[in-house]
Structure 1
Amino acid sequence: MLSRGQVAAPPAFVRLAAHPLRWRLLTELAHSDYRVRELVARVDQPQNLVSYHLRLLRGGGLVTATRSSFDGRDSYYHLDLDRCAHALTDSGAALHPALRRVAETPIPPAEQQWSRRIAVLFVCTGNSARSPIAEALLRHHTAGHVAVSSAGSRPKSRLHPNAIRVLREIGIDIPSQRPQHLDTLAGATFDHVITLCDRAREACPEFPHRTRRAHWSIPDPTAAEDGDQADYLAFQRTAADIDTRIRHLLPVLTATDQEKDQP
């Protein structure tokens, strides 16, 4: 209980996010995972300064880092939007109970009537695990109202059995789906292209017509294989990570749909 004249310190999230450079970094990472040098270019600040503020954001639990599978000397930074939602809820409640919002309320699926069909492409290297999982989850969450595809820069001959299994656990069946090469989509138009593999990001071509690019740096679940048996827990973690990102993508797609509907 504070005595008269005492003022409570601002919540940790407010102290972290209020700094102009840290807010800019959070804004950039809200749309895509980036490497340090990319963030340096986007915010136009020295690398040592950007790295310093990224360390503070990591220390506050808002940002995580994963080693790049393309170049082990690099790391990709990722914004934990769920943790940000909880932090915002706590910050509002600290100011006044009437400002509390329930962070656990799920982002509503796009069960709305879409005015136009949004096209989304997910890309990874083999198109056998991460990108088909993302494709299936987005189609599931939007009840087919989004035109979603997936492809690989070096596609495998078939989907990984554990990708099929992990989706089947949540009621999605894709046994007839086959990996396809990025080249088969040459000339196609997409509103959003999202790479889920650090190597595929380097190989993914540019798409015309103001396509919005984003990168989700998600570890390859097949890398945990022991002989012919993959670590199924890795696939469960991958599917959970992708599902969280898909939930946060839905409002972005809603905004895209509204923009396209404007004259």
Structure 2
Amino acid sequence: MRSTFFYLFFLLIASSCGSSRSLVYFKDLEKSPNYTEEVKNKVNPKIQPDDLLSITVSSLNPESNVLFNNGVLQTIGGTSSGVATSRTNEGYLVDKDGGINFPVLGNVKLGGLTKEEATSKMVAEISKSVKNPIVNIKFINFRITVLGEVNRPSTFLVPSERVNLLEAIGLAGDLTAFGKRENVLIIRETNGIRSTSRINLTSKEALNSPSFYLQQNDVVYVEPAKIKSLQSGDSSFYIPLVSLGISVITALIFLTK
């Protein structure tokens, strides 16, 4: 009788934890271990307002290099010294119209272009003054934010300028057991328009989602499961009391037999 009581008590505790949930990513891949598919949803990030760009120029002319990279040359005795005046090293901030203020060239519109397209445009503009320039452009503030049911929610700088949803979740220490893998929210702002999309990480179709590859300033939000909401709500105070009451009643029934 006592063993039966403990068995029922264990079932009671287990049932109070809520229905079971799958914590497996891409569980529909279990039937196809050799799954292969062409990647068609990878996109290059486009330059947007408030992006911070690092732009360096190299050429065979040392004076032009200093001029384009620093803005102004100091002169001593009527000759260029090759030393630039101080300039902030924070990069070039893209304004609301997509333009940057670049030495010699003035305002250059790069908004809406990929990094490769912007590099080609800068090379074409600088080539009017310097022969065969080499231009390198990098995003300084390429960042993504991961919030919700993850182990380390935070904003992360991405030096590689390319990150997918799984990598972002990895940076945040993976989802907790309460994270809803089937309904991950992506918040994105492009050209002044905010959009949202949802991805089901329990299905392999997530790999083909247009939002699987993140863009700069994307926000990833992982919703909590219902059981977490119950635990954190006002009703959670009564759940242990109800369970305790049921346990006591069950024990009394068995002991009186």
Q: Which TM-score band (shorter chain)?
A: under 0.3
TM-score computed with the length of structure 2 as normaliser? 0.25
Question: In terms of Rg, which structure is larger?
Answer: 2
The structure with higher relative contact order (CA 8 Å, sep 6+) is: 2
* Higher helix content, 1 or 2: 1
- Of Structure 1 and Structure 2, which has the larger fraction of its residues in strand? 2
